[in-house]
Amino acid sequence: LAPKPLRGKKLLITAGPTFEPIDPVRGITNHSSGKMGFAIARAAAEAGAEVTLVAGPVQLRTPRGVQRIDVQSAQQMFRAVLPLAPQHQVFIATAAVADWRPATAHDQKLKKVEGESAAPTIAMVENPDILATVAALARPPFCVGFAAESEKLAEHAEAKRLRKKLPLIVANLGPATFGRDDNALLLIDAAGQRELARADKLTLARELINDIAKRL
Ligand code: C5P
């Protein structure tokens, strides 16, 4: 393989969790560290790609040569990604996007009222599916999804691949990989499966990027 197999290609990557506000001081998020997505961004830049990384709230340094856009909520991530997607050849969605957000983000902090014992109920609404929306564009980039499942990994990941109309989905061969520096991955496409053996996330990211480069 050429040393810079992605030269001249533009890659768009989402990474990290999203943060869904309840009020100015509270919100709903998850344990995604963003490490896998940032490793993929670094590997793609090393491979010569022009990389845009849309990141939720994470504590990670921007990889060299990568253009980073910081967002908080799923809606902000959606609004950042959608206009950029048509100008990219590849879209890799590693972000752990919240499926639901509080229906209202209150302007003022919710107060515990003296003498009132009732806890508030937080109504939730569905967030847009960023990956499915990009994959449904008239001329979509090559779309890669990630799947973290607690059971029936390959089966659920393949169902997700078909539902979101993706050429490739990458399943985390758990257990929980959040925050860890290593992982093992299962690549699933229409032709079948290929496992990337347990390794640090940067090694896996480089293998994944080489695999994607061959598909373009
Ligand atoms: O449906 P599920 O969340 O399990 O799908 C995971 C894949 O879809 C990941 O690639 C994730 O980044 C993407 N996704 C998204 N927008 C959402 C939910 C998931 O882009 N609202």
> Which pTM value belongs to this model?
0.96
Give the helix/strand (H/E) hosting 79.
helix 74-84
Look up the ipTM and state it.
0.98
Q: Among 169, 203, 164, 167, which Cα is nearest to 186's?
A: 169
pLDDT at 148: 87
Backbone angles phi, psi at 153, to 5 degrees: -55, -60
pLDDT at 116: 77
200 is in an annotated binding site: no
Q: For the chain (length 216 residues), average pLDDT per consecutive 10?
A: 89 98 97 96 98 98 98 98 98 98 96 83 97 98 93 94 98 76 93 95 97 97
Identify whether 172 is a catalytic site residue.
no
pLDDT at 1: 59
109 is in an annotated binding site: yes
Question: What would you measure as the largest C-alpha separation in the chain, in angstroms?
Answer: 70
- The count of other CB atoms within 10 Å of the CB of residue 117 is 6
* CA 129–ligand 1 middle distance (angstroms): 6
pLDDT at 177: 61
The preferred substitution site among 73, 101, 129, 153 for testing ligand 1, maximizing ligand atoms within 8 Å of CB, is 129
95 near 145, Cβ under 8 Å?
no
Q: Among 96, 112, 149, which Cα is nearest to 23's?
A: 112
pLDDT at 115: 80
